[in-house]
Amino acid sequence: MGNRKQPFGYRVVMGEIALHPQESKLVEYIFQQYLVGATYNTLVEELREQSIPYDEGKLWNKNMIARILEDSRYTGERGYPPVIDREALEKALEKRSAKQTAAPKTDTQKLLRRFSGRPSTARMERQVLNLLNSLIVSPEQLRLPATAPPDRSTELNLQRELDRVMECQPIDEDAAKELILTIAAAQYSAVDSREYETVRLRRVFSGHQPMAALDAELLQSSVSAIHCHNDGSLNIQLKNGQVIGKE
């Protein structure tokens, strides 16, 4: 129904206002969770994952939750059966009206937003935590990227030139040093950066304990992007280019 004739949690039975069994339980749950610290955003996330709508065809939002938390009829006023006691309503109203300074975003929340391009949520944080913990428990999931063998022709040509310099007497030390440095640079550039990152990530995850809360330092050192999908799932792209999660 687009416009509710009764507050959420109630229905009319035989001309009398009565509790709606499922909705009234949800009202009670909303008050309980709000009073123990759940935010509007957290409640919206949870309510969207269950099957009971506030209005048919509409997703739960913060305005719907606010209307429930400020409605005195849930205490039994104006002929409505009580769902909560007066004390619960007063505590909810007090919490809503309290002028609290918004808590600053944590480093973890800032990183999640940067990597995903979206505001961080508790669900996103939980999903990323689970994916990174799976790598801590099983770092063998980190795979060396399949790449073509590097082109070492430049390095071989430089080595032959160095051999010729070393065979000439007296040895041109300046030329030999320059060639040695050039060969070292060529060898370094031939190392695939993804291979290096894979080895580094294996070392990082192998030495980390499973996390109860997402570690911002580990997140920053291992993840390059978070890809969120319409169905609520996500995957993470690691710094070696490997994707973990939903493909």
Residue 97 has a pLDDT of 81
132 is a domain residue: yes
| Domain membership flag for residue 5 | no
Q: Which amino acid is at 3?
A: N
Residues 136 and 21 in one domain: no
Whether residue 218 lies inside any domain: the answer is yes
What letter does residue 6 receive in the DSSP assignment? S
Cα–Cα distance between 128 and 125 in angstroms, integer? Answer: 5
Domain membership flag for residue 163: yes
- Decide if 94 contacts 204 (C-beta within 8 A): no
Tell me, yes or no, whether 4 lies in a domain: no
**Cα 183 to Cα 170, 178, 195, distances in angstroms:** 22, 9, 20
Q: Are residues 87 and 182 in the same domain?
A: no
Name the strand (E) or helix (H) holding 133: helix 122-137
| 28 and 74 inside one domain | yes
Same domain, 162 and 137: no
pLDDT tens for the chain, 247 residues: list them: 445 689 999 999 999 999 999 999 999 999 999 999 899 999 999 999 999 999 998 999 999 999 999 999 999 999 999 999 999 999 999 988 874 445 678 999 999 999 999 989 999 999 999 999 999 999 999 987 665 555 566 777 778 888 887 888 888 888 878 888 888 777 666 556 778 899 999 999 999 999 999 999 999 999 999 999 988 899 999 999 899 996 5
Task: Count up the domains in the chain and report the number.
Answer: 3
Task: Report yes or no on 63 lying in a domain.
Answer: yes
Contacts of 92 (CB under 8 A, 6+ apart): 31, 34, 35, 69, 70
Please indicate, yes or no, if residue 126 is contained in any of the structural domains: yes
31 and 81 fall within a common domain: yes
Residue 178 shares a structural domain with residue 138: no
Alpha carbon 172 to chain centroid, angstroms: 59
Residue 136 and residue 20 share a domain:
no
Length of the chain measured in residues: 247
**Do residues 223 and 131 share a domain?**
yes
**What's at 135, amino acid-wise?**
L
CA distance readout (Å), 108 to 20, 88, 124: 41, 33, 11
The answer on 162 and 141 residing in a single domain is no
Tell me: do 76 and 125 sit in the same domain. no
Question: How far is residue 164's CA from residue 147's CA, in Å, rounded to a whole number?
Answer: 33
- Whether 235 and 169 map to the same domain: the answer is no
Cα Rg of the chain (Å, integer): 30
Q: Do residues 119 and 125 make contact, with C-beta atoms less than 8 angstroms apart?
A: no
User: What's the domain range around 65?
Assistant: 10-97
Residue 1, in any domain of the structure: no
Neighbours of 47 (CB within 10 A): 20
Same-domain check for residues 121 and 57: no
